[in-house]
Chain A
Amino acid sequence: TFPHTPTWKKEDVTYRILNYTPDMLQADVEEAIARAFQLWSSVTPLRFTRVYNGQADIMISFASGFHNDFYSFDGPGGTLAHAYAPGSGIGGDAHFDEDENWTKFTTYSGYNLFLVAAHELGHSLGLSHSNVFGALMYPTYMPVDTRDYQLHQDDIDGIQALYGPPKESSALPTKAFPPQEPTEMIPAEAPTETSPREEPTETTPSKPPQRPDDCDPHLTFDAITTLRGETLFFKDRYVWRKSPYFSEIEHDTIFSFWPSLIAGFDAAYEVDNKDRVLFFKDDQYWAVSGYSIESGFPRPIQNLGFPTSVRKIDAAAHDQNTKRTYFFVGNKYWSFNENTQSMERGYPRKIAADFQGISHPVNAALQKNGYFYIFHGSNQYEVDIKKKKLIRIMKSNSWFDC
């Protein structure tokens, strides 16, 4: 909390939206802010009412650069918004930097207004920053899936330390606006018209499967790839991120990195000297560079040289030294020459012929430090790439320090 723990000494708090950003429809701005207030009203006795003129407790506005307080904004990026602790006058007010691109959904071309507003309103209610990674009151912006966004326990503990839990009857949404669930999803970059599967299939927020525990002995993966020195493990819509910079595993969703990609990959691999990762799902594949999806994708996997009889691939891994990518399909595997962009002659070959002791189908494959790691069920096989010799068998989730 702030010095002297300032709070609102009443349960009915008013807010007013003074102006709008041209980045979003007015209705979307209002909805994002109403949803942000509802996050806090659902865990406290507080009730938020919107007023349309005069002085409200919390005045909300968009401004660029200097805007009549001591904290000028700094153009695109950097500081996105700020807010003042409860109090009269400027107290409680929230300011948003108009030089940012405000968006309704979590994309990588802008900042989700709901997420930033929810954070700033935490300040407007008396919360300072939290150093708990993943908490809403953590100081840095974290693009996460907002469809069924929940407050972190740290945020709930903080705000209830100031106002207590909700009274049974008042745990209802804000008076002024009933919250709206997002009814459509706008991908960060519209997919091309060529493929019949442009629309993501997860358009209605049904209950997603829970993310398995890191150390679940039965944990298997859909796909695994390296990406700029990190290793990403995919299962359904979840991502386990292992970074050389941070010791603990970070949990994300595919949506939070690539909102327009459909969850549930079949395979993925990185061609690191091109800073490019390819994702495979059914008979299509996408190429991404960092967060952005290369234009012209998705493309049919037949473009890579697979016969039409191949409708999906199981796993893929790229060997940096030979510039060959191995695609595993059923009991066979293909070798793709990344330099010539063509499948090698003499393939497919039987996995059993060249990779003794490895069961199929292969769930996922990873290349790291000169070894292939081939995953089947809850086992992973460490293979010397040059000799194609099985070195050892480990548990699939051995990367998570279980």
Chain B
Amino acid sequence: FPVAPEKEKEDLQFAKKYLESFYDFKEEKTLFRAKDLNQMSDKIREMQSFFGLEVTGELNHKTLDIMKQPRCGVPDVRSYS
């Protein structure tokens, strides 16, 4: 039963780590902040597609909710080696 999360920055950090662990997100610091956000948005889209969520690329409530569910440590995407 979902309860809404509060702190945005903390959530962003959590989401980054989640995407790094399970969706092969690599945070490459580039000169353009917008590009960074784009890369993360792509990974969020991939994760939303996997879980059957509405694919928005945005870190919304439902997406965060699934990220916070206890889960298996094996990544969801093929890059696992």
Which of A's residues lie within 8 Å of B, judged by CB? 2-3, 71, 73, 77-83, 85, 97, 100, 111, 116, 119-120, 123, 128-129, 131, 133, 139-141, 227-228, 230, 245, 290-291
Stretch of B5-13, B28-36, B37-45, B73-81 lying at the A interface? B73-81
Nearest CB to that of A82 among chain B residues? B73
> Considering the complex of A and B, which 3 residue pairs feature the smallest CB-CB distances, nearest first?
A82-B73, A79-B73, A140-B69
Interface of B is mostly: loop
Q: Which residues of B contact A (CB under 8 A)?
A: 1-3, 21-22, 50-52, 62, 65-66, 69-76, 78-81
Give the distance in Å from the alpha carbon of A175 to the alpha carbon of B73 in the complex: 29
Question: Is B70 within 8 A of A133, CB to CB?
Answer: no
A71 near B78 with CB under 8 A, answer no
With a cutoff of 8 Å between Cβ atoms, the chain A residues found around residue B71 in the complex are 78-80, 139-141
Can you sample 7 A-B contacts with CB below 8 Å? A2-B80, A3-B81, A97-B73, A123-B74, A131-B51, A131-B52, A245-B2
Residues of chain A lying within 8 A (CB to CB) of residue B62:
245
Q: Please measure, in the bound complex, the distance between the C-alpha atom of A3 and the C-alpha atom of B81, giving whole angstroms.
A: 8
- B78 with A82: CB separation less than 8 A: no
Count of CB-CB pairs between chains A and B under 8 Å = 73
Supplied contacts A80-B70, A141-B69, 4 more A-B pairs, CB within 8 Å: A2-B78, A3-B79, A131-B51, A139-B72
- Bound CA–CA A227/B2 (angstroms): 11
Q: Which residues of B contact A73 (CB under 8 A)?
A: 73
Q: Are A228 and B1 in contact (CB under 8 A)?
A: yes
- Which B residues lie within 8 Å of A139 (CB)? 22, 71-72, 74, 76
Q: Which B residues are CB-close (under 8 A) to A119?
A: 72
Binding site of A, secondary structure by majority: helix, strand, loop or mixed?
A: loop
Residues in B whose Cβ lies below 8 Å from that of A2? 78, 80
Contact (Cβ within 8 A) A128 B73: no
Contact between chains at A140 and B70 (CB < 8 Å) = yes
CA distance A77 to B76 in the complex (A): 18
Inter-chain contact A128/B52, CB cutoff 8 Å: no
Are the CB atoms of B80 and A140 closer together than 8 Å?
no
Q: Could you tell me if B70 and A78 are in contact, using CB atoms closer than 8 angstroms?
A: yes
Q: Which residues of A contact B52 (CB under 8 A)?
A: 131, 133
A140 to B50, CA, bound (A): 12
Contact A77 B70 (CB under 8 A): yes
